[in-house]
């Protein structure tokens, strides 16, 4: 049994099923992200862990001990709220010291620990400020310090970066990751931002409509998505469906109209036979754009450019496929000399290993 | 409002080429306030000479009244705020059945004349009281400060309840969850988070209640007997001794603490609110009190509610009882009292209150448009004069009008007009503050957006600002009406022969021990007030006394 175990957790609010038979195993010292669109049950799961909400069914084990019955103030799971929930009537120092004072820790030890943690998160000199006198980033640090200083068994973060601007978000998430590695903290991190999840997590638990859709490393979810939802939510994908014409253990050939593809079977549990309808996903940045017809006909699509958008590091192109009702999104590195024209004829080619066969239809 | 300043609303310049009508309106408002507020107020200040001031204030009776006033204000404020807090806490932190019922009952004292609770108290505990005479067969002397304390607690806790309810309901529940998450128990959370966060609101409620209680005239005149407080002493000086100089001097003594309390509540606590409006909600519902606490709070609120029901129930029964305390047969014969001068006084009350309430709302609305926006130093002074009446004890304003309009240049005494004007001026702050809050909430951008979309400034005002001011206006009208029709402390100085109003008539009946007739007239007056309040809710579609929206505007 792992450090933190959720076993068949379910919770409904009236007719809405918020969490449905959720199983999760979290290693000590790992950073696990609960990722999903809004309303998928990730925050409810966090509140169940914190003890704010009682699950209808299921068990939670911490260090092998059942903690369902423990009241929130005895759980030792510090939560950083999305709104930070800083106490507006207390100074920064008193906010951070709050949990220690409640635990009746001696005054000088409180002082030492608060000073230490304020150094760690970079808040020196702001002890006497009130929350409303701080910037968004500073408030975020206070919330983090307040949760960390009580040395929780598990740190729970509820969309901690959503109130920061884009640049600060990247900086702070790097800091959180660094802090987590240095202090070896177990973190459960809720976010709806897939990029954030990919960059920060040891493991991602992708949730949809209260259910766990896939659990794995960021690479697992990116390169071996369990289904269309995962492939679309993580990284985004172009989807094609076709009929199997040839099969080995790890690779399959399938046809989509007049086009032929070799693709990689991402899940060893999936077995296909000739004639099966399958769904494959192709990442926009795994496609190369050609203006001359390639020699091979396999893994090539013919189309014309509909629209382009300059995205800074790359250029996004929308391509209408010839003979198929399909619109492909292609991301290519910027080539200043290339002038992309509307209605320009082009060919899209992709490596067999980048055609991810994910589902039987 | 930048747009509207640049394009004055009713710009007469277009028609006459010279005058700017917003300027004219501002001047008219300033003239009105100068004549009907500042003039009477200064008149009271300047009426007694320095020697007369010293003479009046150093009299033993005056000193005792001052001491008693401060004493009763202190203890009644504490008790009424305490009850109000527990009541509000129950409404926000428990899931008890019948919350709407509890809320509605607690509103009743706000709708009734100030001495109603005192009158019911006499029927229950007086010499012929239901409990003292009929049940316990004891003779308590309920006249004095103990009775007054209890009566004022019941009469004024709803004000504190409404203010604190508003504050508690806007405390972000995540803060309490955060505390629990960091290891604090329910009790620790209550003491370290909930109470400190509500404290500014509680103090504000206390200051406002202290102003009401300090100025309270109706309850002490009925229940305090020979225990003098400032308002009743001032009245006694005028009605008994015609000593207007001493009365004016003591009125000033009454005004000073009231103004101090008001300034503290506006300045010291004005900006110190912890009520934060964060866009994102955590989706967590409020953490409720423990079951044991809930049961205790439920019992407490039931008790308070029972007392209020007893107060009004006793009055209702009293209006139909043969002889209270002796013959309990039902009768409608007392209702014959509702004729002649009594009926006329009720009609006078109703018409005065409607005109005064409407006028106060209108002036508050126009004032908010034309006075509040001009943020020059001069205009800040006039802005203050629009909220000042809220801090003036009724007795002071009554004497001010009595002194100011009794002789040239303006003679109004003895007419209903003087009553209407005094009540109107007294109630301006309600609509004014509600409208100012609404205008601030609307902000500059919305009318500007309408103008940028091609609406004329007048059209922009009518289509964006005006609909949002309908609520505060209606609120100002109904509250002003209720305060006017139930007022005793101002009108008692201003009624003329044959120009009586119901509250004064009732008080005279009580003083002549005509209790059944007083009760009948009180029930009738209360009925009229309730009908208007209910009409206000139904016709204007504004939940004036619901928990939520409307109270924020006040």
Is B551 a residue whose pLDDT tops 70? Answer: no
Q: What are phi and psi of B368, to 5 degrees?
A: -60, -35
Query: Which of B99-108, B280-289, B456-465 is modeled with the greatest confidence?
Result: B99-108
pLDDT grade for B552, boundaries at 50, 70 and 90: very low
Give the closest of A44, A88, A102 to B182, CB-based: A102
Which band of pLDDT confidence, cut at 50, 70 and 90, is reported for residue B22?
Answer: low
Chain B residues touching A72 at Cβ < 8 A: 177, 180-181
Beta bridge partners of A345: A304
Answer whether residue B36 shows pLDDT above 80.
Answer: yes
Q: Residue B141 pLDDT more than 70?
A: no
H helices of chain A, in order, are 42-50, 92-102, 107-121, 136-148, 166-183, 194-200, 218-223, 228-233
CB contacts, 8 Å: A102 with chain B: 179, 182-184, 188, 192
**pLDDT in the model for residue B543:** 60
Write the pLDDT tens digit of every residue in B512-528.
878 888 888 888 998 88
How many interchain CB pairs under 8 A, A with B? 77
Share of chain B above pLDDT 70, in %: 88
Closest CA to A38 of B283, B7, B414: B283
Q: What integer pLDDT is reported at residue B374 of this predicted model? A: 57
Using CA coordinates, name the residue in chain A closest to B186.
Answer: A73
- Read off the pLDDT of each residue in A16-37 and give the average, rounded to a whole number: 93
- Average of per-residue pLDDT across A258-278: 86
pLDDT of residue B541 exceeding 70, the answer is: no
Q: Which of B268-277, B296-305, B353-362 has the lowest mean pLDDT?
A: B268-277
Which pLDDT tens digit goes with each residue over A289-325? Answer: 888 888 888 899 999 999 888 888 888 899 999 888 8
pLDDT digits (tens, 9 = 90+) for B376-420: 667 778 888 888 898 899 999 999 999 888 877 777 777 888 999
pLDDT tens digits for range A106-136: 999 999 999 999 998 889 899 999 999 999 8
Contacts of A150 in chain B (CB under 8 A): 182-183
| Chain B contact present for A233, CB below 8 A | no
Nearest 10 degrees: CA dihedral of A73, A77, A82, A84? Answer: 60
The mean pLDDT value for A146-165 works out to 90
CA A7 remoteness from chain centre? 21
ipTM of the complex: 0.82
Q: Give the per-residue pLDDT at A14.
A: 87
Instruction: Specify the higher pLDDT residue, B225 or B299.
Output: B299
Query: Taking Cα atoms as reference points, which of B90, B115, B93, B112 lies closest to residue B101?
Result: B90
Query: What is the average pLDDT across B483-495?
Result: 90
CA distance A37 to A39: 6
Strand blocks (E) in A257-299: 259-265, 277-282, 287-290
Pick from A354, A359, A282: which is nearest to A321 by CA?
Answer: A282
> What's the distance, Cα to Cα, between the start and end of chain B in Å?
22
Mean per-residue pLDDT for A341-348? 86
- Weakest mean pLDDT among A44-48, B33-37, B383-387, B407-411: B407-411
What pTM did the predictor assign?
Answer: 0.83
- Quick check: A72 pLDDT over 50? yes
User: If interface means Cβ-Cβ distance under 8 Å, which residues of chain B face chain A?
Assistant: 172, 174-175, 177-185, 188, 192-193, 196-197, 199, 274, 276, 278, 280, 282-284
Using CB atoms, which residue from A83, A103, A147 is nearest to B282?
A83
Q: How far is A30 from chain B (nearest CA, A)?
A: 21
Mutant choice from B182, B282, B283 vs A, greatest count of A C-beta within 10 A? B182
Instruction: Locate the chain B residue with the closest alpha carbon to A39.
Output: B283
High-pLDDT (> 70) share of chain A, %: 99
pLDDT beyond 60 at B273: no
Q: Which residue of A has its CA nearest to B173?
A: A85
Encoded tokens for A297: 């006909």
Q: How confident is the model at residue B11 (pLDDT cuts 50, 70, 90)?
A: very low
- The rounded percent of chain B whose pLDDT value lies above 90 is 29
Q: What is the pLDDT of residues B127-137, one digit of tens each?
A: 777 777 777 77
Lowest mean pLDDT among B140-144, B177-181, B510-514: B140-144
Question: How near does any CA of chain A get to the CA of B442, in Å?
Answer: 24
Q: How far is A359 from chain B (nearest CA, A)?
A: 36
Mutate to test the interface with A, among B176, B178, B288 (most CBs of A within 10 A): B178
Q: Which of A:78-107 have CB within 8 Å of B? A: 78-79, 81-83, 85, 87-89, 98-99, 102-103
Nearest CA-CA distance, residue B185 and chain A, Å: 6
Burial class of residue B414 in the structure, from the number of CB atoms within 10 Å of its CB (0-12 exposed, 13-18 middle, 19+ buried): middle
Q: What are phi and psi of B442, to 5 degrees?
A: -65, -40
Instruction: Please write the tens of the pLDDT for every residue from B222-240.
Output: 887 788 999 999 998 888 8
CA distance A89 to chain B (A): 7
């Amino acid at each position: 049994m792992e450090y933190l175990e959720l076993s068949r957790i379910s919770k409904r609010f009236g007719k809405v099923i918020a969490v449905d038979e959720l199983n999760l195993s979290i290693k000590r010292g790992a950073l696990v992200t609960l990722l999903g669109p809004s309303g998928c049950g990730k925050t409810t799961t966090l509140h169940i862990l914190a003890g704010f909400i009682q699950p209808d069914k299921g068990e939670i084990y911490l260090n092998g001990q059942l903690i369902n019955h423990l009241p929130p103030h005895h759980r030792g799971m510090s939560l950083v709220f999305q709104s930070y929930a800083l106490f507006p009537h207390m100074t920064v120092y008193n906010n951070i010291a709050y949990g220690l004072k409640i635990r009746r820790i001696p005054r000088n030890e409180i002082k030492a620990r608060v000073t230490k943690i304020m150094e760690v998160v970079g808040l020196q000199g702001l002890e006497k400020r009130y929350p409303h006198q701080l910037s968004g980033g500073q408030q975020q640090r206070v919330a983090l310090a307040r949760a960390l200083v009580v040395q929780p068994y598990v740190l729970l973060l509820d969309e901690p970066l959503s109130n920061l601007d884009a640049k600060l978000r990247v900086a702070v998430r790097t800091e959180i990751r660094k802090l987590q590695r240095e202090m070896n903290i177990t973190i459960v991190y809720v976010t709806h931002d897939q990029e954030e999840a990919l960059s920060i997590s040891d493991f991602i638990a992708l949730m949809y409509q209260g259910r766990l859709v896939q659990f794995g490393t960021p690479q697992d979810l990116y390169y071996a998505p369990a289904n269309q939802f995962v492939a679309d939510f993580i990284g985004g994908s172009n989807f094609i469906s076709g009929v199997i014409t040839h099969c080995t253990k790890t690779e399959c050939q399938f046809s989509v109209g007049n086009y032929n593809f070799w693709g990689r079977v991402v899940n060893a549990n999936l077995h296909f036979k000739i004639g099966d309808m399958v769904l494959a996903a192709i990442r926009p940045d795994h496609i190369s754009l050609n203006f001359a017809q390639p020699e091979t006909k396999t893994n090539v699509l013919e189309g014309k450019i509909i629209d382009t958008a300059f995205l800074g590091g790359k250029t996004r192109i929308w391509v209408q496929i010839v003979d198929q009702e399909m619109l492909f999104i292609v991301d290519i590195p910027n080539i200043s000399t290339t002038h992309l024209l509307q209605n320009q004829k082009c060919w899209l080619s992709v490596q067999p290993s980048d055609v991810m066969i994910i589902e039987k239809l | 409002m930048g747009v509207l300043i640049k394009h004055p609303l009713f710009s007469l310049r277009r028609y006459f080429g010279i005058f700017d009508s917003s300027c004219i309106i501002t001047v008219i408002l300033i003239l009105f306030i100068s004549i009907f507020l500042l003039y009477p107020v200064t008149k009271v200040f300047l009426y007694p000479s320095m020697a007369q001031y010293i003479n009046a204030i150093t009299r033993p009776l005056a000193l005792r009244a001052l001491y008693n006033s401060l004493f009763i204000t202190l203890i009644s404020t504490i008790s009424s705020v305490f009850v109000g807090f527990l009541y509000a806490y129950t409404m926000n932190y428990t899931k008890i059945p019948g919350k709407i019922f509890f809320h509605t009952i607690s509103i009743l004292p706000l709708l009734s004349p100030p001495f109603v609770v005192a009158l019911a108290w006499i029927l229950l505990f007086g010499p012929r009281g239901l409990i003292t005479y009929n049940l316990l067969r004891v003779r308590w002397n309920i006249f004095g400060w103990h009775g007054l304390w209890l009566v004022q607690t019941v009469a004024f806790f709803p004000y504190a309840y409404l203010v604190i309810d508003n504050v508690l309901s806007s405390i972000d529940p995540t803060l309490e969850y955060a505390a629990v998450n960091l290891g604090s128990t329910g009790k620790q959370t209550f003491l370290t988070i909930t109470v400190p966060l509500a404290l500014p609101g509680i103090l504000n409620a206390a200051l406002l209640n202290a102003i009401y209680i300090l100025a309270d005239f109706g309850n002490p005149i009925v229940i305090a007997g020979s225990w003098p407080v400032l308002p009743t002493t001032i009245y006694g000086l005028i009605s008994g001794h015609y000593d207007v100089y001493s009365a004016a001097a003591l009125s000033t003594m009454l005004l000073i603490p009231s103004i101090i309390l008001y300034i503290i509540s506006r300045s010291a606590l004005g900006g110190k609110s912890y009520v934060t409006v964060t866009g994102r909600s955590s989706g967590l519902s409020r953490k409720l009190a423990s079951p044991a606490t809930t049961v205790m709070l439920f019992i407490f609120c039931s008790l308070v509610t029972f007392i209020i029901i007893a107060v009004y129930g006793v009055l209702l029964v009293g209006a139909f009882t043969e002889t209270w305390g002796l013959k309990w047969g039902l009768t409608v014969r007392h209702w014959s009292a509702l004729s002649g001068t009594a009926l006329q006084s009720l009609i006078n009350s109703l018409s005065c209150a409607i005109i005064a309430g409407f006028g106060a709302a209108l002036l508050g609305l126009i004032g908010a448009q034309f006075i509040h926006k001009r943020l020059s130093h001069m205009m800040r002074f006039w802005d203050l004069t629009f909220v000042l009446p809220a801090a003036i004890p009724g007795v002071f304003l009554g004497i001010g009008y009595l002194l100011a309009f009794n002789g040239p240049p303006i003679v109004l005494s003895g007419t209903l007009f003087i009553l209407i004007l005094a009540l109107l001026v007294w109630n301006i702050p309600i609509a004014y503050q509600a409208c100012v809050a609404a205008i601030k909430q609307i902000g500059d951008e919305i009318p500007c957006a309408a103008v940028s979309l091609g609406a004329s400034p007048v059209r922009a005002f009518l289509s964006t600002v005006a609909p949002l001011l309908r609520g505060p206006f209606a609120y100002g009208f109904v509250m002003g009406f209720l305060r006017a029709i139930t007022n005793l402390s101002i009108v008692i100085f201003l009624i003329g022969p044959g120009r009586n109003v119901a509250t004064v008539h009732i008080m005279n009946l009580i003083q002549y021990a005509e209790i059944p007739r007083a009760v009948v007239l009180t029930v009738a007056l209360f009925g009229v007030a309730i009908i208007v309040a209910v009409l206000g809710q139904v016709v204007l579609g504004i939940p004036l006394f619901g928990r939520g929206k409307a109270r924020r505007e006040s």
